[in-house]
Amino acid sequence: MTLRRKLLVVSMLYFAEGFPFGIIRAALPVYFRLHGLSLQAIGLMDLLRTPWATKFLWAPAVDAWGEYRRWMAGAQALLALLLVTLMLIDPGSPSLPLWLCLMSLAFLAASQDIAIDAYTIALLDKPEMGIANGVRISSYRVALLLAGGVFVALGGWLGWRPAFSSAAIVLALCSVMSLSLPRAATDGNPNRERSLLHPVRDLLQRPRARRVVLFILLYNLGDTAMGPMVRPFWVDRGLTTTEIGLITGSIGLVATIAGALVGGLFTTRFGIFHGLWFLGIWQAVSNLGYAAVARLPETGHWGVYGASVVESFCGGLGSAAFLAFLMSVCNKRWAATQYAILSALFNIPGLLCGSLSGWAAAHFGYSTYFALTFLLALPAYAFIFATRGWGSPEDAPSGEDGAAAPSS
């Protein structure tokens, strides 16, 4: 397969990965807030991140049985059906059917992510990961912002049922495209394990493993803690669904793509280690923009737009380096399981902070809470030097800092 075709496949896959995550994380908080749910209830919905934090538990099944493309297609088809179901459930009260539907959405979205990440690791050669990095992050962010922007705008213009129906159609088309992909080279490999033992051992036997684990746990903490309260802040600041969907979303889309591409180029030029600490600092500092805007209501809607641009651009910068690091150290032999383990590590602390974010924002106020999320990003830097040269002994990456060219 040519590089151009690989990049096309990568862009499609990460659009499919980002779209349901964007619905769950970006659009549904607006949807439920507009229907009167409290900040506390919306904060609790951050528990929907649980499947992403625990997906390593069933990732060995994805590695061991079936083909990655069939896992992707099946999950996407079921996601489309669940979105149709969700629009039939009353959003005004957090009933048991609503929670079951939401948790099923999250479980299936996490499952397709396992297969997509593993398929991509199998698809790309190490030298191709640098150029693929910007494409992957950009496609993912396009889907994320379309789900949180255009989807919300459609809800305001046409009503929420047409919006949910449109999203279901998008996922159904993704399912059809997934089935048309070529088979991954590692599918059917007799060395694909059915347990966590060997993939975990492969990671933990590397030098400085404990410090690297602590770094992964802490690196994205500030960003994930702030995320659940951004959309409610927009609503409470008085932004309409059109403003959220078209103005903030459109500007944020361009800014995030620019940040991802700049971050990918920076990481390719200076290495993953330098990208981690330099770009990560910018990602953390961007939280202070929201803190300032929340403190100064006279900045109005334009202040929110400015904070959104800065946060989106810097979020693309930080993601380019961090996700490059996670994927570059995975052994292709256990691609699904190892990437699931590594990505779950940074989801676990964010899950706890996110679930408490509603109470914290209600107690401290938006401005103080956003400032606190900046401080949450700093402890990771106590362990960042352990990441230098960290990689798989069987699939050793190359580059100035001992890591492959970046991938998201």
Q: Which residues contact 338 (CB under 8 A, 6 or more apart)?
A: 199, 202, 203, 330, 331
Query: Quick check: is 249 in a domain?
Result: yes
Please give the tally of structural domains in the chain. 1
Residue 342 lies in a domain: yes
- List per-residue pLDDT tens for the chain, 408 residues long: 788 888 899 999 999 999 999 898 888 888 888 877 777 777 777 788 788 878 888 888 888 787 889 999 999 999 999 999 988 887 877 778 888 999 999 999 999 999 999 898 888 776 676 567 778 888 987 888 788 778 888 888 888 889 999 999 999 999 999 999 988 766 655 555 556 678 888 888 888 889 999 999 999 888 888 888 888 898 888 888 778 776 666 777 788 888 888 888 888 788 888 889 899 999 999 999 999 999 998 888 889 889 988 998 998 888 888 888 887 788 877 878 888 888 878 777 777 777 788 888 988 999 999 999 999 989 999 999 988 878 655 444 333 333 333 333
Show the domain range for 79.
Answer: 3-182+194-387
Residue 325 in domain:
yes
CB contact set of 153 (below 8 Å; sequence gap of 6+): 241, 242, 244, 245, 246, 249
Whether residue 185 contacts residue 285, with contact meaning beta carbons closer than 8 Å, is answered with no
In a domain, 402, yes or no: no
Residue 143 lies in a domain: yes
Classify burial at 109, counting beta carbons within 10 Å of its beta carbon; exposed 0-12, middle 13-18, buried 19 or more.
buried
Backbone angles phi, psi at 276, to 5 degrees: -60, -50
H or E element in which residue 184 lies: none
Where residue 94 sits, what CATH number does that domain have? 1.20.1250.20
Structural domain includes residue 399: no
Please name the amino acid found at residue 386: A
Q: What is the pTM of this model?
A: 0.72
In a domain, 375, yes or no: yes
Does residue 396 fall inside a structural domain?
no
